[in-house]
Amino acid sequence: MKAIVYERYGSADVLRYTDAEKPAVGDDEVLVRVRAASINHGDRAAMHGSPAVLRLAFGLRRPKATILGRDIAGKVEAVGTKVTRFQVGDEVFGEMSQRGFAEYAAAPHAHLATKPAGVTYAQAATLPVAATTALQALRLGAVEPGMTVLVNGASGGVGTFTVQLAKTLGAKVTGVCSTRNADLVRSIGADRVIDYTRENVTRGADRFDVIIDLAGNHRLSEFRRVLAPKGVYVSSSGTGGAVLGPLPRLIAVVTTSPFLSRRLRVLAVRRSTDDLTHLAELVAAGTLTPVIERTYPLSETADAIRFLDAEHARGKIVLTV
């Protein structure tokens, strides 16, 4: 099969579109003929090997998994002997532990969900990481109708889902993004858009019941200033540099929270086929619309990642196989 292979850390130049062994199928696994995949921040981090702390998991000197990719959608080609949930020909989508940017991918059946007929492969491929992250962030924030929600990083893959899902929960949403993306964030339902190139949201007069911080570009103390007295701050990012990445921010959240009336939370996303099914049903119903800025053929994955390294993508970038 063809796959996107890399054997050392670096820029997109380390990626090769080349032949690779078709994966074997374990007893509890499903072999998927991949039709679409989407790129996540984690894929870029795995490719760059940065922040360096991630190499403890990915491989200290070189990557352990030489095929990139986590989010996939496609058709079942074969099933393991213990798999009863799926059969050959079923349309599925889900999250891999890497190895998704390929013509075929083997995944545990528990990581996959059935793709509704009204959802395209490209749409389904955007959901496993980004939409699940958004959904679980809003749950952690205990968002309810009438609450004010700030989404910092509203135009990215996770952010565009967060804005839409918060609106389905009845929240009043403020999205923070750049000038280039303001119209997009407004079009997907944000009640207010703050252009961070012109206004610092942490210095405004508004107070928010829930802050979903997807960018980590302000001090924790600055976000606490605009958090309502009983509000919830949810962090999934941070800017700790090339070595520690988000760890300093996440540690600060954990160690500070017990001493405050405001609740500070670290988002730890878990795989959930129930969440995948729920999200896909929302897409099928037209309630949730994945924002796809560009699509590339699998063979041009390096160009797709170069684009992401140069630009803040609006929504998701999808690879078609």
The CA distance from 194 to 204, in Å, is 10
CA distances from 18 to 2, 69, 103, 301 (A): 5, 15, 11, 12
- Which residue, among 19, 16, 5, 22, has the nearest Cα to 104 in the 3D structure? 22
Contact 106, 72 (CB under 8 A): no
The CA distance from 141 to 148, in Å, is 11
Q: How many CB atoms lie within 10 A of CB 114?
A: 18
Q: Residue 306, SS3?
A: helix
pLDDT at residue 51, as a whole number: 73
What secondary structure does DSSP assign to 173-203, as a single string?
EEEEE-GGGHHHHHHTT-SEEEETTT--GGG
Tokens 């997109």: give the residue. Answer: 12
Which one-letter amino acid corresponds to residue 237? Answer: S
Query: Tokens at residue 27, please?
Result: 């007893």
49-58 CB burial, b ≥16 within 10 A, e <16: bbbeebbeeb
Q: What sign results for the dihedral spanned by CA atoms 277, 280, 284, 287?
A: positive
What secondary structure does DSSP assign to 229-294, as a single string?
EEEEEEE-----HHHHTTHHHHHHHHHHGGG-SSEEEE------HHHHHHHHHHHHHTS----EEE
pLDDT at residue 217, as a whole number: 86
Tokens 């050392």: give the residue. Answer: 8
The CA distance from 303 to 321, in Å, is 15
The CA distance from 235 to 295, in Å, is 29
Q: Residue 26, SS3?
A: coil
The CA distance from 152 to 200, in Å, is 11
- Which residue, among 306, 290, 300, 299, has the nearest Cα to 127 in the 3D structure? 290
Tokens 């918060």: give the residue. Answer: 166
CB burial of residue 150 (10 Å; 0-12, 13-18, 19+)? buried
> Tens-of-pLDDT digits for all 321 residues of the chain?
999 999 999 999 999 999 999 999 999 999 999 999 999 988 998 999 887 777 877 888 899 889 999 999 999 999 999 999 999 999 999 998 889 999 999 999 999 999 999 999 999 999 999 999 999 999 999 999 999 999 999 999 999 999 999 999 999 999 999 999 999 999 999 999 999 999 999 999 999 999 999 988 888 889 999 999 999 999 886 555 555 556 666 776 777 766 566 788 888 889 999 999 999 999 999 999 999 999 999 999 999 999 998 887 789 999 999
